[in-house]
Amino acid sequence: MGYAGRFYTVIGLLVLVGACLVWRMIDLSIIKHDFLIKQGDARMHRIVSVPAHRGMITDRNGKPLAVSAQVHAVWVNPKLVPLDHPEFDQFAKALGWSPIKLRHRLFQTKKRTFIYLNRSLPPKQAEQIKNLDIPGVYTEKTYKRFYPEGEVMAHLLGSTNVDDIGQEGIELQFDEWLRGVPGKKEVIKNRLGQVVADLNTIRQPHEGHDLALSIDSRIQFLAFRALEEAVSQYHAKAATLVVLDVDNGEVLAMANVPSYNPNSLTGPRDGRYRNRAVTDVLEPGSTMKVFSVATFLTSGKFKPDTIIDTNPGRITIDGSTISDVRNYGVITVAEAIQHSSNVAMSKMAAVVGQQKMSQTLFKVGFAEKTASGFPGEVSGTLSSRQRWRPIEVATLAIGYAMTVTPLQLAQGYMVLGAGGIKRPVSLVKNDKVPQGERVLPEKIAHEVLKMLSLVTEKAGTGKRANVDWYRVGGKTGTAYIAGKHGYDHTRVTSSFAGLVPMDKPRFACVVVVTEPQGVHYGGLIAAPVFAKVMSGALRLLSVTPDNLPTKTEGS
């Protein structure tokens, strides 16, 4: 080959190489363009979630009652986990399982590729597991709800499920408000897994809102402990207490016994999970007599000093006998409340009639759900039919023939305490006093209050409810529980409903003890619980005493 030949060969080769390069450029940037972009995105492009926390629930003073804290979920791919890994036993130990059980579980599920072993492992143990570095074992961050006050407020707060979604109680009622919705964003990650660029926010995260309840955890604790004592002392089946703030309708305490530990829901699924203050009804008995009397006074046919003959201490209507504990003889309306005279109530009810009594009860808020909005709340019953037999009218006057929840009862007393104004009951702290609605004339409410304070005086049935330095007004109730064959005289609910201090009522409180053993009078069981809780509450909220002992010594 001559010089020219070699020259053109080299030139030709160079051109060929150049052409190859140009072709490759075209190939990469035009023909395979989409494919390469896709591959690049698949390696670098990630959609990551932006965490949002569930809001905290606090009491009225800001004390945390329900907090979401970080835990770790441990999941495995059973196909990848070597059962003979040298660290296997340690892995089981960190999980809190026995190695045999864990092996068994993994063997059982070996066909699957994803199982959760624990969805709420404390960070420390999760760290241990991560450090063991066993193939097929993964951890991820999740949240779990914790309730520092434990069983004291379990019923009220309710619970959330493993996905942090409200299932019961306040957690369910205010789920929308509390719930945090995690956001999503598109990012580019480098090969080390670090985010190098924020491309696009697909969904903004929504942080859950905090919620301040109207509950005062100190009063709540007093209430819970007092109920626990009463239940264990009288071997009662259950007990419930509600404290309302008369001034604005806030629920200051709502406690139930038996209770459960909300931080580990492993107990038996029995009645202990019910918030009895709103889900259970009782035939209230004598505690309702104040509303009957309010009706009698409103009708204008009776005055507090109207005289009623209760001789001989019993009355027979339609063949059924209603009797008093003993024969009180001739008494005034005020004394009828003080002694809780069934006979006097029945006689007055016959004069006033059922319609007016039902009217008052409906207006005060019975047979209707309260404004609390608590999930599972019941309305209680009060028949709205037109025709009532005389005996039914009499039983209504003494608090039978209808059912109420403890919260409704407390609400009724709150109406009396507020001078006849009904304000909506609230489980959430109010910023301002809600608008009330007048349901009873003020004069009547004051007259009834005056009678109520007689009950706790020496001659009354509720003197065990007294609190030093304060004038207490309240009414005891002992109601038989209806069984299969009419009222069962061995099963009773003992209740006390009252207001304090009587000068200007601040608290309305209802105590209900279900099926106490041994003693049967409401005054003996429920009233001391009332006194215990109220004396604490009055002290804690610095309510001015209205009944200080008069001292003679000068200063």
Partner 1 sequence: MNTATRTVSDIRWQWALPYMPLASRPVLRNMLLLFTILITSFATISSKHISRQLCTDLQTQQDVSNAHYESWTKLLLEQGALSRQARVEQIAQQRLHMSVPTTQQVEIVKL
Site string (134-173) toward partner 1, x via CB under 8 A: ------------x-xxx-x---------------------
Q: Which stretch binds partner 1 (CB under 8 A): 20-28, 64-72, 128-136, 344-352?
A: 64-72
Applying CB under 8 A, among 307, 468, 489, 490 the residue interacting with partner 1 is 468
- CB 67, min distance to partner 1, A: 5
Separation of alpha carbons 444 and 304, rounded Å: 10
- CB 548, min distance to partner 1, A: 6
Provide the H-helix boundaries in 418-517: 442-455
Structural element, H or E, at residue 4: helix 3-26
Applying CB under 8 A, among 44, 46, 52, 67 the residue interacting with partner 1 is 67
- CB 284, min distance to partner 1, A: 30
- CB 144, min distance to partner 1, A: 10
Applying CB under 8 A, among 75, 138, 177, 469 the residue interacting with partner 1 is 469
As a dihedral over the C-alpha atoms of residue 212, residue 218, residue 220, residue 221, rounded to 10 degrees, the angle is 130
- State which residue, 218 or 429, has the beta carbon closest to partner 1: 218
- With binding defined as CB under 8 A, does residue 182 bind partner 1? no
Take residue 173 and report the two structure tokens written for it: 């009622």
- State which residue, 56 or 288, has the beta carbon closest to partner 1: 56
Q: Catalytic annotation on 214?
A: no
CA angle 290/293/294 to nearest 5° reads: 85
Q: Which stretch binds partner 1 (CB under 8 A): 60-68, 72-80, 476-484, 512-520?
A: 60-68
Q: Footprint of partner 1 on residues 251-290 (CB under 8 A)?
A: none
Q: Tokens 């003996």 belong to which residue?
A: 524
Site string (522-551) toward partner 1, x via CB under 8 A: --------------x--x--------x---
- With binding defined as CB under 8 A, does residue 60 bind partner 1? no
Separation of alpha carbons 221 and 359, rounded Å: 37
For 205, half-sphere exposure in the C-beta direction (CA atoms, 13 angstrom radius) is 15
- With binding defined as CB under 8 A, does residue 384 bind partner 1? no
Q: How far is CA 548 from CA 40, 327, 342, 504, 536, in A?
A: 83, 35, 34, 15, 17
Applying CB under 8 A, among 51, 136, 182, 205 the residue interacting with partner 1 is 51
# residues contacting partner 1 (CB under 8 A): 30
- CB 551, min distance to partner 1, A: 8
Q: Which stretch binds partner 1 (CB under 8 A): 56-64, 251-259, 371-379, 449-457?
A: 56-64
- State which residue, 198 or 442, has the beta carbon closest to partner 1: 198
Nearest to 528 by CA among 463, 455, 454: 463
- State which residue, 147 or 174, has the beta carbon closest to partner 1: 147
Q: Taking the CB of residue 247, how many other CB atoms lie within 10 A of it? A: 16
Separation of alpha carbons 494 and 62, rounded Å: 34
CB-based contacts of 430, cutoff 8 Å, min separation 6: 214, 248, 249, 250
Q: Are 451 and 335 in contact (CB under 8 A)?
A: no
459-490: buried (b, 16+ CB within 10 Å) or exposed (e) per residue? ebbbbbbbbeebbbbbbbbbbbbeeeeeeeee
- State which residue, 99 or 150, has the beta carbon closest to partner 1: 150
Applying CB under 8 A, among 19, 195, 265, 433 the residue interacting with partner 1 is 195
Collapsed DSSP state (helix, strand, coil) of residue 375: coil
Q: Are 214 and 427 in contact (CB under 8 A)?
A: yes
Q: Are 350 and 297 in contact (CB under 8 A)?
A: no
Q: Tokens 């202990």 belong to which residue?
A: 272
- State which residue, 87 or 546, has the beta carbon closest to partner 1: 546
Q: Name the DSSP letter for residue 27.
A: I
Take residue 390 and report the two structure tokens written for it: 């005389």
- With binding defined as CB under 8 A, does residue 198 bind partner 1? yes
Separation of alpha carbons 488 and 484, rounded Å: 8
- State which residue, 2 or 549, has the beta carbon closest to partner 1: 549
User: In this structure, are strands 57-58 and 211-212 parallel, antiparallel, or unpaired?
Assistant: parallel
Applying CB under 8 A, among 10, 25, 196, 265 the residue interacting with partner 1 is 196
- CB 499, min distance to partner 1, A: 20
Q: Indicate if the alpha-carbon torsion angle 533, 537, 543, 544 is positive or negative.
A: positive
- CB 184, min distance to partner 1, A: 15
Take residue 489 and report the two structure tokens written for it: 């005289």
Rg (CA), the chain: 35
Separation of alpha carbons 12 and 2, rounded Å: 15
- State which residue, 1 or 192, has the beta carbon closest to partner 1: 192
Applying CB under 8 A, among 119, 225, 272, 369 the residue interacting with partner 1 is 225
Annotated catalytic residue, options 159, 214, 259, 286: 286
- With binding defined as CB under 8 A, does residue 218 bind partner 1? yes
Q: Are 498 and 475 in contact (CB under 8 A)?
A: yes
Q: Which stretch binds partner 1 (CB under 8 A): 125-133, 193-201, 374-382, 515-523?
A: 193-201
Active site positions, annotated: 286
Interacting residues toward partner 1 by CB under 8 A: 51, 53, 56, 63-65, 67-70, 146, 148-150, 152, 194-198, 217-218, 221, 225, 468-469, 536, 539, 548, 555
